[in-house]
Amino acid sequence: MSLMFGKARTCNIATVPEHEPSECNIVILGALGSGKSALTVKFLTKRFISEYDPNLEDTYSSEEMVDQHPVLVKVMDTADQEGPVNCERYLGWASAFFIVYSIDNRSSFDVCQQYMETVTLYTKGLQPEAQVILLGNKLDMDRHRKVSRSDGAALASRFGCLFFEVSACSDFLSVQSIFHEAVREVRREAERSIRPLFISEDKAAISLSSACYKELPAPATAKLVTVKSSRAQSKRRAPTLTLLKGFKIF
């Protein structure tokens, strides 16, 4: 079986349909304190962290079932201190980007615009194109909101990407849904990129205008199978919480 999924991605799950990538590499970008680690840890462990090591950058993986198909989701939780610098380490690796801001912090939203520009400049025209999802985090802080939902939607629409608001400290299923939605987007893109390009004008108009705020799909029932960091794997260390030693988990 060969997968039409470039950039040296591997294929090791035999039951994956031909056009579907068996791995999905998600890079999480955003300003300091926007909640990148909290979202990552929530997805991996269902728990919320309140303290973290801001210099910790690592890649974690989790075997997931998304729409009855297995996929290895790898998550790179980045620790850039001042916006997009030294992006080479993830630009070629990512199948999807989460660009995260905190809805109660206007400047974190401004940093997102820089990330959007950097990432879309790199990804546009690639086959398959890495998918970008804008995330307004800390939805539980709505009463302190500094970025309106329509501002988020407008930015996403400017770059033609999906947009969700979420909270890393509330329910696990909505955080998981966003990661699964990223997998779906990556699969759609993989499928699109192996199809000949016969798009009617009507369809093109629909797809161009459809970017923007999207209601979360019903939470998937898939359950977390394993939690391992790639570093831990390579050193054959015990999986799970040892990899998260930079976090305090509640």
Ligand X SMILES: Nc1nc2c(ncn2[C@@H]2O[C@H](COP(=O)(O)OP(=O)(O)OP(=O)(O)O)[C@@H](O)[C@H]2O)c(=O)[nH]1
Binding site for ligand X (CB under 6 A): 30, 32-38, 49-50, 52, 54, 79, 137-138, 140-141, 167-169
Q: Which residue has the tokens 């660009």?
A: 99
Q: Which residue has the tokens 């973290």?
A: 52
Cα torsion angle, 143, 146, 150, 156, sign: negative
- Min dist CB 169 to ligand X, Å, is 4
- Min dist CB 74 to ligand X, Å, is 17
Q: Considering only CA atoms, which of 145, 136, 229, 227 is closest in space to residue 178?
A: 136
Nearer to ligand X, 35 or 128 (CB): 35
Q: Considering only CA atoms, which of 113, 112, 102, 176 is closest in space to residue 139?
A: 102
Nearer to ligand X, 65 or 79 (CB): 79
Nearer to ligand X, 17 or 54 (CB): 54
- Min dist CB 93 to ligand X, Å, is 19
Residue 234 gets the label, from left (phi > 0), alpha (psi -120 to 50) or beta, of alpha
Pairing of strands 69-77, 58-66: antiparallel
Cα torsion for 189, 193, 197, 202, to the nearest 10°? 0
Nearer to ligand X, 67 or 171 (CB): 171
The residue count of the chain comes to: 250
- Min dist CB 87 to ligand X, Å, is 15
- Min dist CB 236 to ligand X, Å, is 27
Distance CA 96, CA 131 (A): 4
First-residue to last-residue Cα distance in the chain? 43
Q: For residue 159, give Cα distances in angstroms to 9, 29, 134, 162.
A: 26, 16, 10, 9
- Min dist CB 108 to ligand X, Å, is 8
Q: Which residues are within 8 A (CB) of 142 and not within 5 positions of it... i.e. 6 or more apart?
A: 103
Nearer to ligand X, 12 or 55 (CB): 55
- Min dist CB 13 to ligand X, Å, is 30
Which residue minimizes CB distance to ligand X? 35
Nearer to ligand X, 71 or 103 (CB): 103
Nearer to ligand X, 49 or 112 (CB): 49
Amino acid at 109: F
